[in-house]
Amino acid sequence: MSKAGIAGMGCAADDLFTIAENLTSSDWHKPSAASGWSVGDVICHVGCLLELLQAAVRGDSLPDSGIEALNDAQVAQRGDWQPARVLEYVHSQLDSALPVFTTLQDEPLASVHTQMLDLGSYPLNAIADMFTFDITTHLRYDILSPRGPIAGTLLPADGARLAPSVSWLLGGIPQMQPTLVRHLTAPLALRLTGPAAQEVLISADNDAITVGSLDGAAPNVAATLTSTTADFLAWSTTRLPWRERVSIDGDSAVAAAFLDALNLI
């Protein structure tokens, strides 16, 4: 999404601070909907990930670990931090990260690919998309009700927040789950509606998944999956059941085999 990711990241961070800075001590320690993490842990995770990716951009060596295990370890290391210290940490990491990630939005750096641990290889300009997705999804589905424990009010996510988030997820479908291709037995069309609406073709070629533009009626697709962009953030990450958020037109067995296996990060 190039510079759209930087704008989305800033909007998502504003949303996070709007909620986080009004939490009580009791709120901070409530279990979030992210398994094993409190609300405060989720907020701390944002700072940890910002610090990690800035180190990666600098060329520092990354730990030999999968992203989820690393996330857990980094949050646990800061488990005794008080809320004020966590918020200061996240603010400082965001302030330093935005200029760094902004430099990655223009060529020649923008299209240079880098390995992001076990998530796959992405162009450097996608780092901002990842953070837009990460902050938006954690806040809206892990912290805030009805799925999370905090009763807070935010406007529905708009295109500025959803376009980079969707871009990150679509880029992850071919990479985040090496065995996912076994569950895609025929091409599927994905139609995302609402803010940042788009249509893509998900197909398998030479034992690899490809996500590309949906041209015309795409007569060879086994099924068409339709969802809102906001719901896509939730069901593609298994935060909410896809059966309650996706309508299927076509071969429901082929579609369900793929959707049951999908679990993006």
Q: Do 211 and 93 belong together in one domain? A: no
Domain harbouring 191, CATH code: 3.30.1050.10
Kindly list the strands in the beta sheet with 198-205, ordered across the sheet, starting from the edge strand earlier in the chain: 208-213, 198-205, 188-193, 223-228, 247-250
Domain boundary among 94, 126, 161: 161
Residue 201 maps to a domain: yes
Whether residue 1 has pLDDT greater than 60: no
Cβ-Cβ contacts under 8 Å for 77 (sequence gap 6 or more): none
Whole-Å CA distances, 102 to 5, 19, 110: 9, 25, 10
Among 3, 96, 111, smallest CA distance to 54 is for 96
Position 63 scores a pLDDT of 76
Whether the model pTM is above 0.75:
yes
Q: Do 7 and 83 belong together in one domain? A: yes
Residue 11 maps to a domain: yes
Distance CA 126, CA 201 (A): 20
Among 75, 81, 129, smallest CA distance to 101 is for 129
Residue 153 maps to a domain: yes
Whole-Å CA distances, 30 to 81, 114, 144, 209, 238: 15, 36, 11, 39, 21
Q: Do 229 and 103 belong together in one domain? A: no
Residue 89 maps to a domain: yes
Q: Are 18 and 180 in contact (CB under 8 A)?
A: no
3-state DSSP assignment of residue 120: coil
Q: Do 155 and 193 belong together in one domain? A: no
Q: Do 53 and 128 belong together in one domain? A: yes
Q: Do 126 and 196 belong together in one domain? A: no
Q: Do 117 and 191 belong together in one domain? A: no
Whether residue 36 has pLDDT greater than 90: yes
Start-to-end C-alpha separation, the chain: 18
214: confidence class by pLDDT, cuts 50, 70, 90: confident
Domain boundary among 104, 128, 161: 161
Residue 166 maps to a domain: no
Q: Are 260 and 179 in contact (CB under 8 A)?
A: no
Whole-Å CA distances, 242 to 37, 58, 144, 262: 23, 38, 20, 10
Position 152 scores a pLDDT of 87
Q: What is the pLDDT of residues 62-106, one digit of tens each?
A: 777 788 888 999 999 999 999 999 999 999 999 999 999 999 999
Q: Do 194 and 154 belong together in one domain? A: no
Which H/E stretch holds residue 208? Answer: strand 208-213
Q: Count structural domains, the chain.
A: 2
Q: Do 52 and 140 belong together in one domain? A: yes
Q: Do 149 and 246 belong together in one domain? A: no
3-state DSSP assignment of residue 202: strand
Q: Are 251 and 223 in contact (CB under 8 A)?
A: yes
Q: What is the pLDDT of residues 95-104, one digit of tens each?
A: 999 999 999 9
Alpha helices in 59-193 (DSSP H): 67-77, 83-102, 126-137, 159-172
Residue 173 maps to a domain: no
Residue 170 maps to a domain: no
DSSP for residue 29 = T
Q: Do 184 and 155 belong together in one domain? A: no
Residue 71 maps to a domain: yes
Whether residue 55 has pLDDT greater than 90: no
b/e per residue, 92-115, with b = 16+ CB within 10 A? ebbeebbeebeebbeeeeeeeebe
Among 154, 180, 22, smallest CA distance to 87 is for 22
Tokens of residue 191, six digits: 């139609």
Domain harbouring 96, CATH code: 1.20.120.450
Domain boundary among 133, 161, 189: 161
Q: Do 28 and 153 belong together in one domain? A: yes
Range of the structural domain that residue 67 is part of: 3-161
Phi-psi domain of 206 (left: phi exceeds 0; alpha: psi -120 through 50; beta: other)? left
